[in-house]
């Protein structure tokens, strides 16, 4: 009887120990916030491949239609990690003290101010000789109605275009709409100009609309930022590093594929947009979106942070929004140096990072 009892106890111990091991190895679920954009494809692809679980985390991808919608969900604890524009990244630090922990991609050529093909704005190119690729003359723009998503990358692109022409936000009428609304409204004849980001700007191009200015032609950078809730990140630095390693593994994959066979990514890219975002991309649009979003691998990320480029991109945005009155001087004191842009989590990433 004693031997039987010992066997039962031993067996129970094995079962409980085994359960404990399984429990310890269960991936940590992380709620993350994304938009229907290029950067989300990377994390979606990584999740599809199970790369997050290989790192001991399980990424839940939550859909939002704008950066400000993402920020509004943060106080309720809906997410801890996020991919968003540099403008809401700045606002996130102002409101909630969020960190920028990495760069998602470069969007300086995927945000654009657009006009219809018969617009008088197209009559003038290079009005400001420092920006020879920018279209427009102040007399053809002043007082006009422009559709844009305010306090976003589309607003940043619009305001910089105006600035190149010697104008301010107050010199035009800005109608705030989300991107889908702006695209639809401009299609029906509402507004004189529209500021769109990809993929909406591609749909505009298909309709014959012309690009008159974008951040790159206006001389500024515009990154997508990977951000984190400060309190959570400070308490879980290793989980942040694991998330970055997963994202950067997808960066390695996409860089390699874009060098060797870009079209091989098109089927998965289309599937991502259809299944996750409910959007049906053509092959041509999918390929163009992939080609126009440069991404940065681990070594390139380290360089962006070490050389202060990542901070400068965000500091420039803060300075500009202060100049146009969208944030106060006191706000600028808080974010003007972009000290919330930090590589302390990037430095914890385990290397080397595989590609597939």
Q: Is residue 17 part of a domain?
A: no
Q: Is residue 147 part of a domain?
A: yes
The size of the chain, in residues, is 356
Based on DSSP, count helices (H) and strands (E) in the chain, helices before strands. Answer: 16, 10
- Render pLDDT for 281-297 as a digit per residue (tens, 0 to 9): 999 999 999 999 999 99
Q: Is residue 177 part of a domain?
A: yes
Average pLDDT for residues 208-237, to the nearest whole number?
96
According to DSSP, the residues that pair with 85 across neighbouring strands are: 224
Q: Is residue 10 part of a domain?
A: no
Domain identity same for 264 and 160: no
Percent of the chain with pLDDT over 90: 87
Average pLDDT for residues 196-223, to the nearest whole number?
94
Dihedral (CA of 320, 154, 79, 42) sign: negative
CA distance 151 to 64: 15
pLDDT score, position 24: 53
Where residue 56 falls (left for φ over 0; alpha for ψ -120 to 50; beta otherwise) is: left
Burial 86-103 (b: 16+ CB within 10 A, else e): bbbbbbbbbeeebbbbbb
User: Which CATH number belongs to the domain containing residue 87 in this structure?
Assistant: 3.40.190.10
Q: Is residue 227 part of a domain?
A: yes
CA distance 220 to 17: 57
Domain identity same for 253 and 317: yes
112 pLDDT more than 90: yes
Q: Is residue 88 part of a domain?
A: yes
10 pLDDT more than 70: no
CA distance 60 to 62: 6
Q: Is residue 6 part of a domain?
A: no
Domain identity same for 204 and 228: no
Cis-peptide, bond into residue 74, ω within 30° of zero: no
Domain identity same for 63 and 206: no
pLDDT score, position 18: 46
Q: Is 332 exposed, middle or buried (0-12, 13-18, 19+ CB in 10 A)?
A: middle
Domain identity same for 53 and 182: no
Domain identity same for 239 and 322: yes
Average pLDDT for residues 333-344, to the nearest whole number?
97
Query: Which is more confidently placed, 7 or 78?
Result: 78
Domain identity same for 189 and 290: no
- Render pLDDT for 171-190 as a digit per residue (tens, 0 to 9): 999 999 999 999 999 999 99
Per DSSP, 341 falls in state B
Q: Report the number of distinct structural domains present in the chain.
A: 2
State the pLDDT confidence band at 13, using cuts at 50, 70 and 90: very low
Domain identity same for 205 and 277: no
- How far CA 180 is from CA of 7, 63, 177, 240, in Å, comes to 66, 15, 8, 32
Point out the domain boundary residue: 154, 187, 213: 213
Domain identity same for 177 and 294: no
Domain identity same for 335 and 229: yes
pLDDT score, position 152: 83
The pTM assigned to this predicted structure is 0.83
Domain identity same for 94 and 38: yes
Domain coverage including residue 194: 111-213
pLDDT score, position 21: 41
4 pLDDT more than 80: no
Structure tokens at 226: 């990977």
Q: Is residue 2 part of a domain?
A: no
State the pLDDT confidence band at 151, using cuts at 50, 70 and 90: confident
State the pLDDT confidence band at 25, using cuts at 50, 70 and 90: confident
CA distance 259 to 309: 25
Burial 18-44 (b: 16+ CB within 10 A, else e): eeeeeeeeeeeebebbbbbbbbbbbbb
pLDDT score, position 6: 43
Query: Which is more confidently placed, 156 or 15?
Result: 156
Point out the domain boundary residue: 194, 213, 232: 213
DSSP result, 204-234: HHHTT-EEEE-TTTTT---EEEEEE-HHHHH
Domain identity same for 145 and 84: no
Query: Which is more confidently placed, 296 or 68?
Result: 296
> What's the whole-number average pLDDT of the chain?
92
- Render pLDDT for 239-265 as a digit per residue (tens, 0 to 9): 999 999 999 999 999 999 999 999 999
Point out the domain boundary residue: 184, 213, 242: 213
């Amino acid at each position: 009887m004693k031997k039987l009892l010992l066997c039962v106890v031993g067996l129970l111990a094995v079962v409980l120990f085994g359960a404990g091991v399984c429990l310890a190895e269960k991936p940590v679920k992380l709620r993350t916030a994304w938009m229907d954009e290029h950067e989300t494809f990377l994390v979606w692809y990584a999740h599809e491949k199970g790369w997050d679980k290989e790192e001991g985390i399980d990424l839940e991808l939550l859909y939002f239609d704008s950066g400000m919608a993402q920020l509004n969900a943060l106080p309720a604890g809906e997410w801890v990690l996020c991919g968003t524009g540099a403008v809401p990244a700045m606002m996130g630090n102002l409101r909630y003290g969020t960190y920028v922990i990495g760069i998602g991609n470069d969007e300086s050529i995927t945000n654009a101010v657009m006009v219809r093909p018969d617009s008088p704005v197209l009559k003038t190119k290079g009005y400001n000789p420092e920006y020879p690729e920018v279209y427009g003359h102040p007399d053809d723009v002043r007082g006009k109605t422009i559709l844009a998503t305010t306090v976003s990358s589309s607003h940043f692109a619009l305001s910089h275009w105006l600035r190149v022409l010697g104008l301010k936000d107050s010199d035009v009428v800005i109608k705030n709409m989300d991107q889908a609304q702006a695209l639809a409204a401009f299609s029906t004849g509402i507004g004189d100009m529209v500021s769109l980001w990809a993929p909406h700007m591609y749909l505009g191009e298909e309709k014959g609309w012309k690009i008159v200015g974008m951040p790159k032609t206006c001389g500024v950078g515009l990154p997508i930022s990977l951000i984190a809730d400060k309190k959570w990140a400070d308490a879980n630095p290793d989980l942040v590093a694991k998330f970055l390693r997963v994202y950067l593994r997808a960066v390695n994959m996409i860089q390699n594929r874009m060098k060797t066979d870009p079209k091989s990514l098109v089927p998965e890219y289309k599937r991502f947009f259809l299944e996750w975002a409910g959007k049906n991309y053509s092959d041509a649009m999918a390929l163009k979106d992939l080609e126009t979003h440069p991404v940065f691998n681990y070594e390139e990320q380290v360089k962006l942070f070490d050389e202060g480029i990542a901070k400068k991109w965000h500091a420039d945005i803060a300075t500009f929004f202060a100049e146009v009155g969208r944030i106060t001087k006191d706000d600028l004191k808080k974010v003007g140096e972009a000290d919330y842009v930090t590589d302390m989590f990037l430095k914890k990433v385990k290397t080397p990072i595989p590609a597939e």
